[in-house]
Amino acid sequence: MKNLFDQPTKQEILKRIDSLKPNAPAKWGKMNVNQSMRHMNMALDIPTGVLDPTVVNAPPMPKWLMKFFLLNTKAPKERAETFLEINTVKNNINPTDFETEKNNLKKKVNEFTLADKLIPENKIGGKFSKKDWGKLNFNHMDHHLRQFGV
C-alpha cells in the first residue's frame, strides 16, 4: 500500500484532487463530490488529534486484525462505516463551493504530511505509527477519489 508521507504518493494524491470535477457523479455511495472532499479533510484531523471521533459500529474483530485490513486492503465500495463526526451525509453537511473544498483538502494534505506528531492509536485499529497513518490516509483518499473517477 502506498504511503501519503512518500513525496511521489503525496503529489499523486494532490494531482488527483486537482482532477476532480464539480458535480462529478459518484460511482458508489451517498456522498456528492463536495461532501467527499469535506469528509476526507475531516478524516485528516483524526491522526493529528484535532478530532476525537466516536466509533459507531465497532467491527466484530480484534484491533490487530482490523489494522491489517485497514492498511493492506482496499476499502469496500459499499456499506463502509465511518465515524459519526465525519459522516457528511448523516450530519447533513453539504458544502456548496467546490473550489473552496478542493483547496482546503489540498491544504490539509500538506499540513498532515508536515505534522510532527500523530496520535499513537487508531480507535478501531489499535497502535498506529506515523507510517501506518500515512498508509491508512492514502488508502482512504484513494477510495474516495476512485469513487469520483480519479
pLDDT band of residue 84 (cuts 50, 70, 90) is: confident
pLDDT for res 141? 97
Q: Under the phi-then-psi rule, with left for phi > 0, alpha for psi from -120 to 50, and beta for the rest, what region is 121? A: beta
**What integer is the mean pLDDT of 7-11?**
98
For the chain, the average pLDDT equals 93
**What integer is the mean pLDDT of 74-102?**
87
Tell me the pLDDT tens digit for each residue of 101-146: 999 999 999 999 999 899 999 998 999 999 999 999 999 999 999 9
Residue 21: CB partners within 8 Å, gap ≥ 6? 33, 148
Q: How far is CA 22 from CA 26, 32, 36, 59, 89, in A?
A: 11, 9, 12, 34, 18
pLDDT for res 110? 97
Query: What sign has the CA pseudo-torsion 26, 30, 34, 35?
Result: negative
Tell me the pLDDT tens digit for each residue of 32-47: 999 999 999 999 999 9
pTM across the whole model: 0.93
Would you state the torsion angle of the CA atoms of residues 54, 56, 61, 63, taken in this order, to the nearest 10 degrees?
A: -10
Q: What residues form DSSP beta bridges with 121?
A: 127
Would you state the torsion angle of the CA atoms of residues 118, 7, 31, 123, taken in this order, to the nearest 10 degrees?
A: -20
What percent of the chain lies above the pLDDT cut of 70? 97
Domains of the chain (ranges; CATH) run 7-147 (1.20.120)
